[in-house]
Amino acid sequence: MIRHTPRALCVLLASASIGLSVATAALAADGATVFEACSVCHGKGGASSESAIPIIGGYSAKYIVESIKNFKKKIRTCAEVTIPSGPKKGTKSDMCKVVADLSDADVDAVAKYLADQKFVRARQTFDAAKAQRGVALYKLRCEKCHENNGSSPDEDNGILAGQWTPYLRAQLVSFRTGKRPLDDKMKLRLDKVDKDEEEAILNFFASQQ
């Protein structure tokens, strides 16, 4: 609420003559406005151009809300990054700090905004032979939940096809070391994947551009 004060005031003043119901609707958090503070790291529309910062435009609203809850509760650890653009460019921050003061209404609004954006796949290098090997491993170990070659946001599991490889690799380390909570069934599958196989799968995701 505090962050919208100037705008909220204008709306309130304007609405005095046009009725309370309009004021209530206009006062609801606006996802695009909330996202302005996020875009300095996640890029326009959530299409991050930084390999350590995930592309989040096009993720499901449910996944975004759940992730932010986990950051707020600190049950998912937050990696510190250097802010790549905007007035605080060059300084360090992390997701736990960023979401600490977001209201539930802001979180819902920004999640809806992001779900409406397009997931823009990362342009990144990959090893074609490893990617080829990764196809069968993906089908065996990951497809059940991460459908359509890892491109489906419907299952609320995150989008893997075209996501930045360094980000995904860091998440797998966090899952394996318990720094990020994980579905027991995914843990079982992940435990069957060795480092070479993991790299093959990651190259398969990176090859989708």
Q: For residue 109, give both structure tokens.
A: 């609004």
Q: For residue 67, give both structure tokens.
A: 């992730």
* Cβ 171 to ligand HEC shortest distance, Å: 4
120 part of the interface to ligand HEC, by CB under 6 A: no
Q: For residue 200, give both structure tokens.
A: 């093959």
- Candidate residues 11, 26, 27, 79; the one interacting with ligand HEC per rule CB under 6 A: 79
Judging by beta carbons within 10 Å of its beta carbon (0-12, 13-18, 19+), is residue 146 exposed, middle or buried?
buried
- Quick note: the x/- pattern for ligand HEC over 39-78, rule CB under 6 A, is -xxx---------xxx-x-------x-xxx---------x
Closest CA to 163 of 32, 33, 63: 63
> Rounded to whole angstroms, how far apart are CA atoms 109 and 198?
35
The vertex-147 CA angle with 145 and 71, nearest 5°, equals 55
23 part of the interface to ligand HEC, by CB under 6 A: no
- Candidate residues 27, 37, 120, 135; the one interacting with ligand HEC per rule CB under 6 A: 37
26 part of the interface to ligand HEC, by CB under 6 A: no
Interface of this chain with ligand HEC, residues 188 to 207, rule: CB under 6 A: 189-190, 193, 201
> Rounded to whole angstroms, how far apart are CA atoms 182 and 89?
32
Q: How far apart are the first and last CA of the chain?
A: 39
* Cβ 121 to ligand HEC shortest distance, Å: 13
145 part of the interface to ligand HEC, by CB under 6 A: yes
- Candidate residues 168, 199, 203, 204; the one interacting with ligand HEC per rule CB under 6 A: 168
The residue (of 8 and 81) whose beta carbon lies closer to ligand HEC is 81
User: How many Cα atoms sit within 13 Å of 150 on the Cβ side?
Assistant: 26
8 part of the interface to ligand HEC, by CB under 6 A: no
Cβ pair 144, 150 in contact under 8 A: no
Residues lying near ligand HEC in the complex (CB under 6 A) = 37-38, 40-42, 52-54, 56, 64, 66-68, 78-79, 81, 83, 93, 95, 98-99, 102, 110, 141-142, 144-146, 157-158, 160, 168, 171-172, 182-183, 185-186, 189-190, 193, 201
